[in-house]
Structure 1
Amino acid sequence: MAAELVGPARRRLLHRHVAAGLESLHSAEPEPVSAQIAFHHEGAGAAAAAGA
């Protein structure tokens, strides 16, 4: 799996970037991708932003 090829710090950074990108692309209607956004926030170590 690709996630195993990068270290934990880099993986968190990538999750943070993906979450930000999804939020930006879907700012008008985030509901359809809210689970994916939460998943990436959690992967970035931002559990509060993920709704936890």
Structure 2
Amino acid sequence: MILDEPVTGLDTAARDACAEVVLDLLDGRMMLLATHDAVDAQALDISDIITL
């Protein structure tokens, strides 16, 4: 799954709800996430983070 800034602009409750849906849909597959906000990666429970 490739996501580019999927929760940017959402409030905390909406971000967390969206993250829950994304994680359910992920179903064990790999995800590539592009974001400028480390909190987004934390909400999506990203374990391996590469910072550029």
Which interval holds the TM-score relative to the shorter structure? 0.3 to 0.5
Higher relative contact order (CA 8 A, sep 6+): 2
More helix by share: 1
Higher Cα Rg: structure 1 or 2? 1
| TM-score, scaled relative to structure 2 | 0.43
More strand by share: 2
| TM-score, scaled relative to structure 1 | 0.43
